[in-house]
Amino acid sequence: MTSADARLPFFVYGTLRPGEPNHDACLRGRVAAEVPARLAGALLYEGPGYPYVVKDPGGGPVRGELITAMPSAYERLLADLDVLEVYTPGDPRNLYERVRREVTLLDGATARAWVYVAAPRVAARLRASGTVIGGGDWASFRARR
């Protein structure tokens, strides 16, 4: 990881979004900014109470927020989010992988961000038999249930 990567904001699209259960539990008091953003080239899949993003060149956009951590909270937040997302670098049992992706803000500007995407074995299962969340918006999907 380069030093520029070390402080990337996070693109959140599921239970970490405002109004969702992990937002306050994980982000309260640790965030400097939250702005709506979109992730192209991906599909959103239904999971067991939380969604997964899976890379798909023709897919998207997935709707979410770009979260900028307060500098003093960044390292602890990164570690806590890795635990929440069941991500350990190089572990084949991961549910998610933390990857760098470009996201687009509502004004058309782009930003590089950390995104937790489905780990390869999970992504393969979802592509084979998963349920895509139409519109790429977890909050709207949950509101309809």
* Cα 2 off chain centre by: 20
Q: What pLDDT digit, counting tens, does each position of 73-107 carry?
A: 999 999 999 999 999 999 999 999 999 999 999 99
Nearest residue to 60 via CA among 97, 122, 119, 11 = 11
Q: Is 97 a catalytic residue?
A: no
Q: Mean pLDDT over all residues of the chain?
A: 92
In degrees, to the nearest 5, what angle opens at C-alpha 54 toward C-alphas 133 and 43? 35
pTM, rounded to two decimals? 0.93
pLDDT band at 144 (very low <50, low <70, confident <90, very high): confident
Q: What pLDDT digit, counting tens, does each position of 3-17 carry?
A: 455 689 999 999 999
Residue 2: predicted pLDDT: 46
Q: Give CA separation, 122 vs 47, 51, 54, 61, 101, in Å.
A: 10, 12, 9, 20, 19
Active-site entry in 34, 46, 65, 85: 85
Residue 143: predicted pLDDT: 81
